[in-house]
Amino acid sequence: MQSLEVLSESFGLGIYSYFSEDLNRLNRQRSEAAKKGIRTRSDGYAKIRQKACELLLESNPNSLKWKNKTVAAKIITEDLWGYIELVKNKYPQIEIKYDDLTNKIVNWSRDYDDVRAAMEEVAITRKYKKKNAKKRSK
């Protein structure tokens, strides 16, 4: 269809101008619907991450830290999964599997500042120093 539009524009015919207006309208509607879907999906994930932060801070055992991030993530998995089931009713676009939840929490602690801060308060985290490039090449 686009090739016909290009040909009609180059010859100045305007035969497909009516159809091109409809196509442009449909494309705008589709892109707006996609943007709305992305916004609602990201809102749902943001709520789940916020709940994960709250659960991490509540799970802190007598102000001692958990052994590592994975242990801390496993502690809150059950409670967070219950919350995810509630959120999925409102945001059906959310695709989180129970088996992947622990890894997802650990990944969030690396990618999002709020989860990272909560994880650093409740778990022992390793902080690697960046090695010099000259030292790596031997």
Give residues with Cβ within 8 angstroms of 7, minimum separation 6: 13
Q: Which alpha helices (H) appear in 59-100, and where do they start and end?
A: 69-90
Q: Above 60 in pLDDT, residue 136?
A: no
CA atoms of 5 and 17, how far apart (whole Å): 8
9: pLDDT confidence band, cut at 50, 70 and 90? low
Task: Please compute the mean of the pLDDT values over residues 114-133 and round it to a whole number.
Answer: 76
Distances (CA, A) of 89 to 28, 44, 85, 92, 121: 28, 10, 7, 6, 31
Q: Above 60 in pLDDT, residue 105?
A: yes
CA 85 to chain centre: 17
Return the pLDDT at 18: 57
